[in-house]
Amino acid sequence: MDKLVIEGGSPLSGTIRIHGAKNAALPILAASLLAEGVHSLHNVPKLLDIETMLNILGRLGCRAVHEEETVTMDTSTLSTSHVPEDLMRQMRSSIFLMGPLLARFGEVTIYQPGGCAIGERKIDLHLQGLKLLGAEIEEVSGRISCRAGRLTGSDIHLDYPSVGATENIMMAAAMAEGTTTISGAAREPEIQDLQNFLNAMGAQIIGAGTDTITIRGVEKLYSCTYEVIPDRIVAGTVMIAAAATRGNVTLTHTNAGHLTSLIHVLRRAGVQITVCNDIINVSCVGRPRAVERIVTSPYPSFPTDLQSQVMVLLSLADGFSVIKETVFEGRFKHVEEMARMGADISTDLNRAFIRGVQRLYGATVEATDLRAGAALVIAGLAAQGTTIVEQAHHIDRGYDGIELLFQKLGARISRKVPVPGPFDLAN
């Protein structure tokens, strides 16, 4: 497996453009199946998860080309609504295909996407929503079959603001007969982006960004050209890295409105942040201050996807900080790895207690999941000495060449690809 080698201890400096949002692009790729024709999607990053989704779409019969940051996809050749089990198990986000395939074919077969390194992610809200739209669902040994002669609008309440369930229901309801209302909906910017894409195809949806979304079903949708929003988690990762290394970094092609909770926390830590249109500048000239309490929660609260990264910054802060994780129970796996680098962090169930230290030291650590891996890269950039982050493929799921990104800001970071041995070549 690939590993990242980091010579830390130098401040980041320079300007970086933030690539498109993975968590917006994946449901948009799925939603494109609702309309036959050629779609042109811009600002789509080249990530492992995007590649997997395009492979799935190819197995379903679509023709797709990903050049630079543009995906050109012909959905008129879509030939099946049976999602391959082997690819389904590679990526949980393949669950997004349920809604659009059900709406287009009247049936869909998928498989349980399996476990998750950061905690359990049930799909019961997805299935309940589709049932209320008129789908009949059969589950046998991990295989899920959904059928509906005609989807019809319904009032749907989500007991938890699930992003995936909200998006799946939106896609399924876009061409249902009548009006669907989702109350208790998730409010993430990626849901707003999906609404905008569906509306660009001819859907009639309002309310994304609030807890109530209304979808008036239409007879037909049409292919279109669309640009995906910038990735707020990548932007946040770079901002935290700039602060942790006491650097000065300018981010372009961002949306500061999507990062309000992080900006608030960083300013409490003494980090200087200025915003002008789609440009954010981050600088930190001295040791950051501790932040008494951070609680992760669904948007617009502090995002769980930035919890591990901000913990690195607080591990170097002056004072004692507490982070409470309320979204995923497995989001503290990076703590043990950071301890190898000299961090003073203890955990109790869903709380982490961080006593800031003067410095971190290079070590060999392992990325156990996407965001934990990003946090360890930040720790390596801020640490004295050499850090080796193993299992870098986890990081590739959400960052388009994270080593190249930080190299542009002056970081000494490189990727080491294992050389196949004789046995590997023989097989």
Q: What one-character DSSP code corresponds to residue 302? A: B
Q: How far apart are CA 342 and CA 383, in angstroms?
A: 9
Contact, 369 vs 342, CB < 8 A? no
Q: What one-character DSSP code corresponds to residue 288? A: P
Do strands 204-206 and 179-183 pair parallel, antiparallel, or not at all (unpaired)?
Answer: unpaired
Q: Is 116 a catalytic residue?
A: yes
Give start and end residues of each alpha helix (H) in 74-162.
85-88, 98-105, 124-132
116, 146, 276, 284: the active-site residue: 116
Cα→Cα distances 386→4, 105, 243, 278, 375, Å: 10, 54, 20, 34, 16
Locate 216 and state its tokens: 């008036």
Locate 178 and state its tokens: 């009548």
Any idea which residue has 């607080």 for tokens? Answer: 314
Q: Which of 201, 140, 136, 131 is nearest to 168 (CA)?
A: 131
Q: How far apart are CA 178 and CA 186, in angstroms?
A: 22
* CA pseudo-torsion sign 236, 242, 246, 247: negative
Q: How far apart are CA 16 and CA 371, in angstroms?
A: 20
Q: How far apart are CA 232 and CA 216, in angstroms?
A: 29
Catalytic residues: 116
